[in-house]
Structure 1
Amino acid sequence: MRVLACRGELTPTPRPCAFVMTGRVRTLVGRLPSSLRGVSSIVAGSAIGQGLVILAYPLLTRLYDPAEFGLLTVFTAVVGLVGVVSTAALEYAVPIPVEDSQAASVAWAGLGWVALTGLLTAALGPLLAGPLSDLLGVPRLADVWWLVALSVVVLGTYLLLSEWMTRSREYGALGRRNALQGIGQAGSQIAFGVAGAGALGLLSGFGIGRLAAMGGLFSRRGLLRQPWPGRRAIIAALRRFRRFPLVAMPSRLINSAGLDTPLLVVSALYGDVRAGLLGLTVRVVSGPAALIGEAVTKVFVGDSSSELRDRKSTMGASVRSNVGRMLMLGVVPALVLLLFAPNLFGWVFGPEWTEAGEYARLLAPAYLAQFAIAPVSPALMLLERQGRLLGWSVWRLVLAAGGPAVCGLAGAPILTAVLVLSAAQVTSYVLMYFLCVRAADASDASGASL
């Protein structure tokens, strides 16, 4: 029996489905809690998109060499760092307003920031691209700086539209978004590789995937279907949520740097080949984790923001239960990496990628901690505890980037640097868990006393 979930649960007027659930299957799905239905909707699309991306890697590692993957690693890190600044962190404010009109004002203000950041990135290219590329050990980055600026605009727009769909609980649209992203990214990278486009084809897939994903966001309740808020409303929204660009944006940048800067440090101190090996490790291991983790994050933000608007007091329990479930789900894959990662990587991706499996083995505890705790980290943003998040982000950046940097400058082997990175990430995410629990419990106590 072929089953396709209907969207009637998510929109006021149900739309016809290509296939209709009948009998016992329909009854069972209808009885699922709303949060589980949201997770399943997102996971269904993510399974297609991320599944295609992951399945493409054994082919991509035979179409592109480790040095080209090293350029991709540096490229995506630079785009990611600039991209998170491009929104001024206003995407985090989108789920908060009670009225959709005010939320639309926030989102349009964020899109304005994205456009300005893209133009500034392109304008600074002639001055910064060459020196930065040499510093990071990838001179070819300067030749594709135009693609960096374009990808920043695509990424910033993608982030803002995603949060709008999270606010309106359009989990089905988010699932389609995830599927289209994977199809666009994997398909373009394979096509360019077969055509002999070289590293440019590998880099282009990053933006193409996210550009294709925007097709899944033009739903009936999407941002582009909302009335234009007007200049005064946008300015008023910026004043109301000014702490996001003033405090949350630096926090978001530092938080992103905690993930991306270690890759840049490895590229600068150990070379682009090692950066390519580590970059593949990050993508292969984090891809399946993101399949579930992103879905849980979106539903956690959607449900928690709705409960906060209704002044309910259950966020503390939600944080604990989500982390507990994710730990139980992630422990088995982490053990597989610890025991078999080098042999698996060499067999799946080719002998020259066996060293990447050694990195995966050392990073397994860090990925387990990230998988379990990262999905509830938006609790600090929802509760407007931007200062605590900023402090945590600085702490993680110092540990995650400083440790490998000291190892590289001291001449330590790359495996030592990766081990230090893993320990830094585990320590950081454990601290994040306690910060979220404390903030959520305080919010629950305050809400219960009203």
Structure 2
Amino acid sequence: MSRLQRLLSRLKPQNALYRSILVLSGGTALAQLIGICSLPLVTRLYTPAEIGTVSLFLSFFGFWVTGIALRYEQALMIAADDAESHVVHRLATILVVLMSVLGVPVLWLLQQNHVLEFQLLPVWAPLIAWPILLGYGLFMVYRSWALRGGLVSQISQASIVRAGAIAGTKLGLGAFGGGVVALFAAELAGALSSMHRLMQATKLHFAASKPSTIGYLQLHQAGLRYAKFPMLDTPSAWLDALAATLPLPMVASLYGAEAAGWFGLARLVLSLPNAQIGAAVADVFQMSLAEAVRDKDPQRARSVFYMLLKKLGLIGLVPLVVSLAVLPWAFPIVFGQSWAPAGTVAASLAPWLYSAFVISPLSRALPVLQAQEWKLFYDVTALVLMIGCYFLASHLALSLVEFCLLVSLAQALGYVAYALVLYLLVESRLQKK
């Protein structure tokens, strides 16, 4: 072994949990870097109104895709063995196909009934929604299956491919004045490219354990065995997604498409730490917690939970301070003067995104412990707070920044309550095991 190889071996984390987080967060970081580097060009190729329009579509997409497999993709992590995981995977795939088709008339109805300004979307938006939902839904299923197999490098590669496809399409078509069509095409390219790459790697990994046949009876039994996912986890996830995605349509309804564009960019920039670190930590945390629970080792499971809670709380302070002190004056320099209001919006949303960064990854404990019903407490609270903020802003004629600050503080309080629920759950459930 050469001196360089020995040095690299020493620098490599010895803890398996940290190694997995490093690989996933590294791939996600590179994917996010692609998006970040393209943003200053994207904001000069597209107007705030155009980005506001596609952001409106993405708010529907973010809501619908959350339950597109009725959360059976989460059951892949806790299936009894690899053979059963094939059955759960088949069930989740069938549901993705059906739910992606159902999403088309749902979006069309939102358009036709002028719900929260969805009429601003192009008339063809429901049609292109189907392949986008299908592609990303399958990606989610294969991502969970790959996590079960520990294929973290393949997941990272797929994330990079997705980011490259989205950024490349936006820049390539935007240079020729692609407008809203180009932005939708970018989402389609990202969904299909990432799905195809991860599908091949995961199928190959689990090929040896595939049952000779998977019939209706097996699908039915698997559906019943993990019935908590569609019955409890899916409504909970949709409530959670509704509270997260509603602000943008609300902004469009109260302040117009241009304001929605500012809000969308601010949310995107603030979400980078969560997407880069939080998502990777959440995946590895769920994988490690599931292993500890399957091994009947509650002490190890509790140790993982509290270790990540402390580290995320400290790490999250860095983007929080940067958001409050730097973003208001940096936005017009980086993205152009027409995006200056987005910097102030970003600062007002910072408390919300910090809370999400710390608490959201740890919520993966709920499906692992089959305790999804407890999440409804937070979901209902967050949604009620969001709706209350909307009507209060409408009644008091609050400005865009005042509305964003009100939403941010309300959602941060919701996450504090959620953290308490998670603490009580971990203490009670893991003591019993």
What is the TM-score of this pair, normalised by structure 2? 0.93
| Alignment partner, residue 14 of structure 1 | none
1:316/1:437 contact within 8 Å kept: no
Pair 1:182-2:163 in alignment: yes
User: Could you tell me how far apart the structure 2 residues matched to 1:78 and 1:385 are?
Assistant: 27
* Closer/same/farther in 2, CA of residues 235 and 277 from structure 1, 3 Å limit: same
| Alignment partner, residue 348 of structure 1 | 334
Output the amino acid matched with 2:102: L
| Alignment partner, residue 329 of structure 1 | 315
| Alignment partner, residue 108 of structure 1 | 90
Output the amino acid matched with 1:112: I
User: Could you tell me how far apart the structure 1 residues matched to 2:168 and 2:273 are?
Assistant: 18
Pair 1:198-2:179 in alignment: yes
User: Could you tell me how far apart the structure 1 residues matched to 2:190 and 2:205 are?
Assistant: 20
CA-CA distance at 1:133 after TM superposition: 4.7
1:400/1:421 contact within 8 Å kept: yes
- 1:58 is aligned, of 22, 31, 40, to 40
Output the amino acid matched with 2:218: A
User: Could you tell me how far apart the structure 1 residues matched to 2:32 and 2:221 are?
Assistant: 39
User: Could you tell me how far apart the structure 2 residues matched to 1:20 and 1:38 are?
Assistant: 25
- 2:130 is aligned, of 138, 141, 149, to 149
2:82/2:206 contact within 8 Å kept: no
2:105/2:126 contact within 8 Å kept: no
- Stretch of structure 1 that moved more, 432-441 or 181-190: 432-441
Output the amino acid matched with 2:370: E
CA-CA distance at 1:50 after TM superposition: 0.9
| Alignment partner, residue 405 of structure 2 | 419
- Stretch of structure 1 that moved more, 277-286 or 325-334: 325-334
CA-CA distance at 1:92 after TM superposition: 1.6
Pair 1:287-2:272 in alignment: yes
Matches of residues 20-31 of structure 1 in structure 2 within 5 Å?
A: 22-29=5-12
- Stretch of structure 1 that moved more, 356-365 or 286-295: 286-295
- Stretch of structure 1 that moved more, 130-139 or 310-319: 130-139
1:71/1:138 contact within 8 Å kept: no
User: How big is each residue's C-alpha offset from its partner over 1:215-245, in whole Å with a ceiling of 9 and x where there is no partner?
Assistant: 1342266577352533321111001111211
CA-CA distance at 1:307 after TM superposition: 0.8
Output the amino acid matched with 1:142: V
* Closer/same/farther in 2, CA of residues 331 and 110 from structure 1, 3 Å limit: same
Aligned residues: 427
2:110/2:118 contact within 8 Å kept: no
1:64/1:193 contact within 8 Å kept: yes
Matches of residues 160-175 of structure 1 in structure 2 within 5 Å?
A: 160-175=141-156
- Stretch of structure 1 that moved more, 54-63 or 78-87: 78-87
| Alignment partner, residue 40 of structure 1 | 22
User: Could you tell me how far apart the structure 1 residues matched to 2:324 and 2:105 are?
Assistant: 46
| Alignment partner, residue 424 of structure 2 | 438
User: Could you tell me how far apart the structure 2 residues matched to 1:48 and 1:293 are?
Assistant: 14
Output the amino acid matched with 1:245: P
1:365/1:422 contact within 8 Å kept: yes
Output the amino acid matched with 1:372: V
CA-CA distance at 1:402 after TM superposition: 2.6
Runs of 4+ in 1 over 6 A off after TM superposition: none
Secondary structure, in 3 states, of the residue corresponding to 1:136?
Answer: helix
User: How big is each residue's C-alpha offset from its partner over 1:375-425, in whole Å with a ceiling of 9 and x where there is no partner?
Assistant: 111111211111111221111111123313420343211111101110122
User: Could you tell me how far apart the structure 2 residues matched to 1:37 and 1:125 are?
Assistant: 41
User: How big is each residue's C-alpha offset from its partner over 1:303-335, in whole Å with a ceiling of 9 and x where there is no partner?
Assistant: 111111111113333222112111211212211
User: Could you tell me how far apart the structure 2 residues matched to 1:160 and 1:65 are?
Assistant: 34
CA-CA distance at 1:355 after TM superposition: 0.5
User: How big is each residue's C-alpha offset from its partner over 1:185-212, in whole Å with a ceiling of 9 and x where there is no partner?
Assistant: 1111111111222111112222321321
* Closer/same/farther in 2, CA of residues 223 and 120 from structure 1, 3 Å limit: farther
Secondary structure, in 3 states, of the residue corresponding to 2:135?
Answer: helix
| Alignment partner, residue 368 of structure 2 | 382
| Alignment partner, residue 98 of structure 1 | 80
User: Could you tell me how far apart the structure 1 residues matched to 2:114 and 2:4 are?
Assistant: 54
Alpha-carbon RMSD across the aligned residues, in angstroms, is 2.0
* Closer/same/farther in 2, CA of residues 74 and 124 from structure 1, 3 Å limit: closer
- 2:61 is aligned, of 79, 93, 100, to 79
1:63/1:194 contact within 8 Å kept: yes
Output the amino acid matched with 2:156: G
| Alignment partner, residue 9 of structure 1 | none
| Alignment partner, residue 70 of structure 1 | 52
User: Could you tell me how far apart the structure 1 residues matched to 2:42 and 2:3 are?
Assistant: 38
| Alignment partner, residue 12 of structure 1 | none
Secondary structure, in 3 states, of the residue corresponding to 1:98?
Answer: coil
* Closer/same/farther in 2, CA of residues 442 and 109 from structure 1, 3 Å limit: same
| Residue segments in structure 2 that go unaligned for 5+ positions in a row | none
What is the TM-score of this pair, normalised by structure 1? 0.90
CA-CA distance at 1:98 after TM superposition: 2.1
User: Could you tell me how far apart the structure 1 residues matched to 2:114 and 2:14 are?
Assistant: 51
1:186/1:205 contact within 8 Å kept: yes
1:168/1:221 contact within 8 Å kept: no
2:273/2:357 contact within 8 Å kept: no
